[in-house]
Chain A
């Protein structure tokens, strides 16, 4: 039994709390939140130790790990503090608002040999796992395009500004950090991270301070391209709906949370699959879980965290390292967003310091964009060589 403390009793936190409390390998003993009434509820109804201060909880609750489900802007501080205290860490997605910080956390966790995971639950959905397996096993030949989409009805009318952290860009609100990062992470899960984001646009539909839609195009460095389309102001969807389609030289494969469809071109077969369409459903592809809340994947990801705590890492786990790759794409999307003035192309306020390598690379890309296609190609080659030298 591993002793867990949970930070942030919001929408995701309360779900993690219920799953962790029902988990045979985890014992959730303490919670931490800034809202007094939530702490009072946790004490009186759930009989949990409730802390207003994270540091106090970490210092006194004798924990093995923490589950962090606070606004994204606080993830770096909380995850770092927990890791430095020798605790395993599960963080809600996205990991942080800066790829550099995410990479540093991944390195710290690695150095300390501590279990680390990010809440990209789609990696635990049976259909998406099968999608990855088929693509990586070569079922559809060489991949030339990946299409990732997510739509849903979160913001469907103009609302007052800044009501929660999710409506504030600096804290990680908006469609990019809420919806798009899920899709980017799935595309990375299936194909690996892109070599480059070649263009992006964010669009405000109803929100005052954050984007409601994100569109971007990727290059994978092997000739394959990627297209990202996300919109959380689409009322035609009942709830968030995520889908990925991968196109290869021998066919294509489509997956969402319910089904996976494999089309093999005429004359192509793979394993037991004949040419033409084969559609399979989640009912056949999802492993059952001991306790179900909203979807097997939420329980399955905490199973993986419990396993990682026991020293058994999962092949599909969503680690800090993979989440840092996702954050890097998110950051590039922002940096390249032609609809934003330059000073807003960062999430956090720029610190008065010497620009980092990444910032210089971004500046170079922006410059190349402005100078036309030929300059872009030259610059892309330069950047690729530079990255190789650094690696």
Chain B
């Protein structure tokens, strides 16, 4: 996986995710109302040299994957790094259908009934099987495109982390490796605690994607603790939310994040070609300055 790009393109902006403003989020939702409008922005990103797309498993992204698969020449070298599951879909289903109902709705066959019957002897095996099946369901849309890393979304990662159910990290990594021949990655809002947990279950040099920004927004434990983890432990770290949803001025944000040697890659989202170009330029400029400084 030495091959994770320095710059990755994210997809929050396509789905009305903005951690600072509902109004901006709504404006984005209106702008990206169909798959074509998303593809146009991805085309801009591709033409600017972006080759990696960190995405959710939202239905629209499935259509984007179909489009990319149908035009292999246009998107040569383009790769999806999907994060799963798309949490809000399941959160709303949980309210409407309950835990068992949700599982029944998203998995085929009588598997859930077997699990829900709760025979203790088979419980662990069934739950593992269920987890694998959920991953497969989410991955089905990406069968025709390249997916070098498959991520566990932060709500699930951090839930398992908090619960202490760390063995599922290993199960997930094992499954995506065996089934798809790729590496597992983990989104998190709790980097220091997660790296410990992953090491305990035998994932020593993990791929993680976490907030990394100058104001320490959603970096549990604080910037100091994050920096220490990257200094002291082998971690392949992708920084996201580097602008803290716009709370930090672009140049200041990028300069700060580029100065952190432990950060391997930077993920960002943008809705316009001008913003894509500007962000890439900033990263390249500050990377260049650092390289020159030796």
A37 with B94: CB separation less than 8 A = no
A360: interface (CB < 8 Å): no
Name A residues whose Cβ lies closer than 8 Å to a Cβ of B.
10-11, 14-15, 17-19, 21-22, 35-41, 43-47, 152-155, 159, 163-167, 178, 236, 238-239, 241, 243, 256, 258-259, 281-284, 288-294, 296
Q: Which residues of A contact B96 (CB under 8 A)?
A: 154-155, 159, 163-164, 166-167
Nearest to B121 among chain A residues (CB) is: A40
Q: Which residues of A contact B217 (CB under 8 A)?
A: 283
Name B residues whose Cβ lies closer than 8 Å to a Cβ of A.
15-22, 25, 29, 88, 91-92, 94-101, 115-118, 120, 123-124, 127, 155, 158-159, 161-165, 167, 189-190, 193, 215-222, 244-247
Given contacts A11-B91, A21-B163, A283-B215, contact A290 B220 (CB under 8 A): yes
Nearest to A19 among chain B residues (CB) is: B162
Given contacts A154-B95, A164-B97, contact A288 B216 (CB under 8 A): yes
Docked complex Cα distance between A36 and B119 (Å): 8
Docked complex Cα distance between A44 and B221 (Å): 29
Kindly list the 5 A-B residue pairs having the minimum CB-CB distance in the complex, ordered from nearest. A18-B162, A37-B118, A36-B118, A164-B98, A292-B189
Docked complex Cα distance between A104 and B18 (Å): 42
Task: Identify A292's interface contact among B88, B158, B246, CB under 8 A.
Answer: B158
Minimum C-beta distance from B111 to chain A (A): 12
A291 with B216: CB separation less than 8 A = no
Q: Which residues of A contact B18 (CB under 8 A)?
A: 258
Q: Which residues of B contact A241 (CB under 8 A)?
A: 22
Docked complex Cα distance between A16 and B221 (Å): 19
Q: Which residues of A contact B115 (CB under 8 A)?
A: 37
Q: Which residues of B contact A289 (CB under 8 A)?
A: 220
Q: List 14 A-B contacts (CB under 8 A).
A: A10-B99, A11-B99, A22-B162, A36-B118, A37-B115, A45-B124, A163-B101, A164-B97, A258-B19, A258-B21, A283-B245, A288-B222, A291-B220, A292-B158
Task: Identify B165's interface contact among A19, A46, A163, A167, CB under 8 A.
Answer: A46
Known: A18-B161, A37-B116. 8 other contacts (CB 8 A): A10-B99, A46-B164, A152-B92, A166-B98, A238-B15, A238-B16, A281-B247, A293-B155
B120 with A283: CB separation less than 8 A = no
Docked complex Cα distance between A265 and B216 (Å): 34
Docked complex Cα distance between A22 and B193 (Å): 10
Q: Which residues of A contact B161 (CB under 8 A)?
A: 18, 22
Q: Which residues of B contact A37 (CB under 8 A)?
A: 115-118, 123
Minimum C-beta distance from B133 to chain A (A): 16
Docked complex Cα distance between A11 and B87 (Å): 12
Docked complex Cα distance between A19 and B220 (Å): 13
Nearest to B245 among chain A residues (CB) is: A283
A10 with B98: CB separation less than 8 A = yes
B19 with A282: CB separation less than 8 A = yes
Nearest to A173 among chain B residues (CB) is: B95
Q: Which residues of B contact A159 (CB under 8 A)?
A: 96
Docked complex Cα distance between A292 and B226 (Å): 14
A283 with B162: CB separation less than 8 A = no
Nearest to A15 among chain B residues (CB) is: B159
Docked complex Cα distance between A243 and B159 (Å): 27
Task: Identify A163's interface contact among B98, B118, B163, B164, CB under 8 A.
Answer: B98
B163 with A258: CB separation less than 8 A = no
B20 with A17: CB separation less than 8 A = no
A283 with B88: CB separation less than 8 A = no
Task: Identify B92's interface contact among A22, A153, A236, CB under 8 A.
Answer: A153
A284 with B247: CB separation less than 8 A = yes
B92 with A281: CB separation less than 8 A = no
A17 with B247: CB separation less than 8 A = no
Minimum C-beta distance from B178 to chain A (A): 21
Task: Identify B163's interface contact among A18, A36, A256, CB under 8 A.
Answer: A18
Q: Which residues of A contact B19 (CB under 8 A)?
A: 258, 282-283
B117 with A14: CB separation less than 8 A = no
Docked complex Cα distance between A276 and B117 (Å): 61
Q: Which residues of B contact A47 (CB under 8 A)?
A: 164
B221 with A290: CB separation less than 8 A = yes
Minimum C-beta distance from A107 to chain B (A): 32
Nearest to B189 among chain A residues (CB) is: A292
A45 with B91: CB separation less than 8 A = no
B247 with A283: CB separation less than 8 A = yes
B95 with A283: CB separation less than 8 A = no
Q: Which residues of B contact A259 (CB under 8 A)?
A: 20-22
Q: Which residues of A contact B123 (CB under 8 A)?
A: 37, 40-41, 44
Minimum C-beta distance from A78 to chain B (A): 19
Nearest to B126 among chain A residues (CB) is: A37
Docked complex Cα distance between A35 and B100 (Å): 10
B247 with A291: CB separation less than 8 A = no
Task: Identify B158's interface contact among A35, A36, A293, CB under 8 A.
Answer: A293
A178 with B165: CB separation less than 8 A = no
Docked complex Cα distance between A283 and B217 (Å): 6
Minimum C-beta distance from B55 to chain A (A): 15
B118 with A35: CB separation less than 8 A = yes
Q: Which residues of A contact B218 (CB under 8 A)?
A: 292, 296
A239 with B165: CB separation less than 8 A = no
Q: Which residues of A contact B99 (CB under 8 A)?
A: 10-11, 35, 38
Task: Identify A14's interface contact among B88, B101, B163, B219, CB under 8 A.
Answer: B163
